[in-house]
Structure 1
Amino acid sequence: MKLKNLLLVLLVCALSFFQCSKPSKETKPNILLICIDDLRPELKSYGANYISSPNIDELAEKGVSFQKHFVNAPSCGPSRYTLLTGQYGPATNDALFQRANKIAQGATIAPSMPEWFRMHGYTTVSVGKVSHHPGGRGGKNWNDSTKNEIPNAWDRHLMPVAEWEHPRGMMHGLAHGEIRVKSGDMNVFQTVKGNDDIYPDGAITEEALKQLKALATRNENPFFLAIGIIKPHLPFGAPKSYYDRYEGVEFPAIEHPQKPEGRSTWHGSNEFKQYNRWDKNPNIDTVFADEVRRHYAACVSYADAQVGKILGELKRTGADKNTIVVLWGDHGWHLGEHSIWGKHSLFEESLHAPLIIQDPRMNNKSSKPNAIVETLDIFPTLCDLTGIETPKYTQGESLKAILVNPEISGHSAIAYKKGASTIRTSTHRMTLHQDGFVELYDHTTAEMETKNVADEHPELVEALKHALHTRLN
């Protein structure tokens, strides 16, 4: 009997030793990437105290909000290309589709960021507008499953359409299923009573919450969940309750509202002008300009509410304790600065966008580094934070050191559009046109990007030209 008991004890010990000495499966952190369309850094956490953005601001309080993050292109498609590939790319909205066509033709193309994480054991899911087309598909109505914008990237790429019929309808949709048919017949802004579901982002958020719950509670692998919110993209429509938040709120004067003298990347705001504006011009009608700005702000607050729902669900599942959250604006937006209402320029307002990173393992709450960083840095940063090998083809730099120590310096930021490219340093912005014409702006002066000082600083211009060519080539 004693021998049997002894053998039993030895067996239990052996099993315990085996289980304890077995290599344990490493639990890598999840990634939650929230992409917000046309979001300029006009948020309370970025100094705009008149904006109601409590959920994004709370995320900023828990993490690091990069005050000088710049995108690599002032348009949706090429900016999202750099985010999702970690590389500079074509300056066109179909940049990702061009890449997909090369893959279809048999070219060897470096894996995208979601594909890279998928290759390293992550379950990858996208909901909403993560790539240029919401849902990541092509075709007439952006729902052709044979035309994948980012091949091999997602285990699931989802785009609920509700009463807006298809992803194309969702992209420029207004309340209760209104789809843009002829843009001149669609109002540039709108306020309608109702809950969040009367606009497209309500359906996107509901699907995102379902996917988040499933990934957090039933998924064995770490997850990479990307969620794309459409507002505040044109047309500016949001439930009236968000517009009402700005009743009686005084907005600051528009900074440097005049059209630039001389040559620049100024444009005539055609994206904005294509909508019904009741024959009003915000550059001369200050009342109309104020209404445009308030409706944009209402859309920001509406988008912020969706962020709140997503982060609330993350916390309810308990996955917040092991999830890196990244909130990213795909580019900025002019609200009258330089007499522009839109994006697509290489001025600061088109390129400056929010970037917030919150890693629950790091003790860096409420940090607001002024280091210049760019969208290109997000891919290598997430590799660094998760312990996954950073692929050599990524062209950005990991921001982990700045996350640990916000006093560390950043680096110059590059951006480009058709016919011109720009470099932003801590003191200057230089824009180089394809024919050699140069704009140079001094950010240490009150004139900022209203006075071209290129002729006064030829040596600086040459140094910045060299830096620009080195980075892009």
Structure 2
Amino acid sequence: MENKHSLPTALHHDERRSLPNTARNRKRYDDHLLGKPAANETRYFTSISALLFRSAVQRQSPSNPRQRCFDRRILIASDPLFRSTDDCTSPWIAQRQYNAFPRGKPLAFAAPARLLSPPTPSHRNRMRSCLILLVLLSIQGLTAADEVQRPNVLFIAIDDLNDYISPLDNHPGIQTPNFDRLAERSVNFTNAHCAAPACHPSRVSVMTGVHPATSGIYRNLFGAHGPRWRHESPVLLNAIVLSQHFRNHGYRAVGGGKIFHTLQWTAGDSQNDPHAWDDYRGDPLNPIAPDWPRAKRIPDAKTGLTKGRPLNAQLFGTAVIDAPEDSYGDHLVADWAIEQLQAEHTQPLFLAVGLFRPHIPWEVSQRWFDLYADADVQLPPHQTNDLDDAHDHGRTHWHQWVIENKQWPNFMRGYLASISYVDHQLGRILNALDESPMKDNTIVVLWSDHGFHIGEKENWEKFALWDQTTHVPLFIHAPGVSQDGQSSQQAVTLTDVYPTLCDLAQIPIPDQCDGTTLVPQLRDVSAKREQLSLTSFQFTNEPIASHAVSDTRYRYIRYGNSFEELYDLDSDPNEFNNLAGTAGHVQIQARLAAHIPTSAAPDRTVPKDSSYNRKKNQ
């Protein structure tokens, strides 16, 4: 608010004591002491200079008159219209006005009625030193102002979430109002794919920007406590984690929940890098509440259903949890995220939130199961002998167990209930953001580490290269940049997230990144990309990778044994008909095959214990 009734406080206290307060008396004082001011010439200073001026004039004057005079000269060092004088009581100080103004607005000063006497050499040297100091402080002030204005980042990772949500595939009957809400306020990348169809390699690729074909990290890595992936891959040894990169450029980086892969509640494993964060909820190497999953609550053990079940009773199942929802791991992580959004921050914030559901086991409270009555649950499209012209993924025994025990509808219901539960947690976080002062200056990105099969192509979980496994949600909201509420159909890989966030925050993109920025698509969803999506995986301990490439219509897969698949997703979204090698598709197949890596890095995740059967990916 403009303050026209106050004078600079650098006046000596005796002068201030006798100074009239009203605007009318102020004018009389000026006319009497200085004569009527010259024409209303104004000079403008930047907001930073004005703030420095305010800071300087409000300092308490020292007792030494000569030092007090020198301090006053600091105030005029940057204004050539004013000149120094040995008279420390010169009345020009009383005539200079400054207006309190919002940040970023110019500051107007009344022009002096007359020029004062030229400075002496000693005074000139002092003024030169003060001017240098003022410039340095201005640069520092500009840097500080830039830090405040940098966008915050809300980075949400969800585990095992496929494209069933309503903004994507829209599985019949799915209820995900908060994903719909996020889609309305962001760009929905409807053709996004993970870099690897497993938790560990996918998350490492997102957090480093390095694709598995470059790093050699293709599969889940077990038996580690900390970022063992750094030491398994020479490429990743000195890679800068996304959160660390933002820390290096003035951000406060905090995380909670599952960002890197963690199985500490079953195998004692966690792949998080504790040095990449300023703070992490609880223990960065134990980020998920220890009560997940609640195996003892699964009733199947009493009925004998666990006999012959893949994995074990602890993981591959679904059940109603009767504990209070505020004790659930995801609820606690969301509580923590809400606290971060409500807190005051002196630095721009990079907030990473990892939600565990809908990862197996599908255990949530009754109200989420009630959304999906047994009679209304629809199974995914499937056909007999679907694998006759496709790769044998080695997990048909899972599907056989589900069919024999009549669990397919039950498991589908559990998965849908878990999606609605995590949708609710997302809504709580979005509500907190909407009520936060950071609302209008926060980038929001939400992604899933990979898709998920609920019996499609006789497969369960992930660990495949079909669209159902690799297709993931990806939403990005960038204030003032993104065409919110619209969709881009361009092929995207999750390794594009790292450079995109750097681009939006205007910080350098590290050379390590394999992806490319999505800012052109955020600005214009119709903008084309030359890049195709690339997903890589290894199905056996043989050091040969398999790859899948997608454009806006076709999907091409080449396995390590040279078997090929080609699907037209426009006419065959369920990938029932393999077109590889068929007439009329030779050129399309050759075009996509040209994007398959010719020298993929060798597998760095082969377990040293050869007795561990990685082929089953369990």
Instruction: Identify whether the pair has TM-score above 0.5, normalized to the shorter chain.
Output: yes
Deviation of 1:159 after TM superposition, in Å, equals 4.1
Larger radius of gyration: 2
Tell me whether 1:331 sits opposite 2:450 in the alignment.
Answer: yes
Contact map agreement 1:38 1:331 (CA 8 A) in 2: yes
* Partners of 2:368 and 2:418 within 8 A in 1: yes
CA displacement 1:89-118 (0-9 Å, x = unmatched): 210223983433369x99851312111111
- Counterpart position of 1:416: 536
Give the 3-state SS of the residue equivalent to 1:185 in structure 2: coil
Which residue of 412, 418, 439 maps to 1:293?
412
Q: Is the CA contact (8 Å cut-off) linking 1:129 and 1:229 kept in structure 2? A: yes
Counterparts of 1:172 and 1:265 in 2: how far apart (Å)? 30
Q: What is the aligned counterpart of 2:425 among 306, 314, 329?
A: 306
TM-score using structure 1 length: 0.84
Structure 2 residue corresponding to 1:464, chosen from 592, 597, 613:
592
Give the superposition deviation at 1:445.
3.0
Q: Report the alpha carbon displacement of residue 185 of structure 1 after superposing the two structures with TM.
A: 3.5
- Which whole-Å CA distance do the structure 2 matches of 1:176 and 1:129 have between them? 23
Superposition CA RMSD, Å: 3.5
The within-5 A match list for 1:390-405 is 390-405=509-524
1:228 and 2:358 are equivalent in the alignment: no
Is the alpha carbon distance of 1:239 and 1:413 closer, same or farther for their aligned partners in structure 2, counting shifts above 3 Å?
same
Q: Which amino acid aligns with 1:267?
A: G
| Identical positions, percent | 26
**Contact 1:283-1:336 at 8 Å conserved across structures:** no
Q: Is the alpha carbon distance of 1:78 and 1:441 closer, same or farther for their aligned partners in structure 2, counting shifts above 3 Å?
A: same
Check 1:32–1:250 CA distance in 2 against 1; reply closer, same or farther (3 A cut): same
Q: CA deviation at 1:12?
A: 5.4
CA contact (8 A) 2:298 2:317 kept: no
| C-alpha distance in structure 2 between counterparts of 1:363 and 1:158, whole Å | 30
Counterpart residue type for residue 156 of structure 1: D
The 3 A distance-change label for structure 1 pair 293 and 106 is closer
> In the alignment, residue 368 of structure 2 is paired with which amino acid?
Y
Cα 1:335–1:396, aligned 2, differ >3 Å: closer, same or farther? same
SS at match of 1:303: helix
CA contact (8 A) 2:210 2:514 kept: yes
Q: How does 1:92-107 map to 2 (within 5 A)?
A: 92-94=219-221, 97-101=227-231
Cα deviation digits, residues 384-439 of structure 1 (max 9, x gap): 11111212221111111111111122431111111411111222222112232222
Residue 365 of structure 1 pairs with residue 484 of structure 2: yes
Mark the CA change 1:191 to 1:452 in structure 2 (over 3 Å): closer, same or farther.
same
Q: What's the counterpart of residue 313 of structure 2?
A: 185
Query: 2: CA distance between counterparts of 1:210 and 1:230?
Result: 19
Shift of 1:76: 0.4
Give the deviation of 1:175 after TM superposition. 8.4
For 1:97, the aligned partner's letter is P
The structure 2 residue matched to 1:62, chosen from 185, 196, 204, is: 185
Map of 1:379 onto structure 2: 498
Aligned position for 2:203: 80
What corresponds to 2:96 in structure 1?
A: 10
Question: Would the alpha carbon gap of residues 175 and 384 (structure 1) be closer, same or farther in structure 2, given more than 3 Å must change?
Answer: farther
Q: Which residue matches 2:126?
A: none
Q: CA contact under 8 A between 2:249 and 2:507: conserved in structure 1?
A: yes
Where does residue 38 of structure 1 map in the other structure? 160
SS of alignment partner, residue 439 of structure 2: helix
Most deviating of 36-45 and 253-262: 253-262
- Cα-to-partner distance string for 1:327-356 (whole Å, 9 max, x where unaligned): 111110011111112111111100011011
User: Which deviations, in whole Å up to 9, do the C-alpha atoms of 1:168-205 show, x marking residues without a partner?
Assistant: 84554468899x9x963336001134542243212222
* 1:362–1:12 CA distance, 2 compared to 1 (3 A): closer
CA distance in 1, matches of 2:193, 2:374: 32
CA distance in 1, matches of 2:197, 2:237: 28
CA spacing shift, 1:244–1:209, aligned 2, 3 Å: same
The aligned counterpart of 1:268 is 395
For residues 232 and 269 of structure 1, do their structure 2 counterparts lie closer, same or farther at Cα, with a shift above 3 Å needed? Answer: farther
Segments of structure 2 that go 5 or more residues without pairing to the other structure are 1-14, 16-32, 35-88, 102-106, 109-133, 302-308, 539-544, 602-618
Higher mean C-alpha displacement, 59-68 vs 188-197: 188-197
Q: Distance in 2 between matches of 1:142 and 1:159?
A: 16
Is the 2:227–2:272 Cα contact (8 Å) retained in structure 1?
yes
Alignment counterpart, residue 25 of structure 1, candidates 119, 142, 145: 145
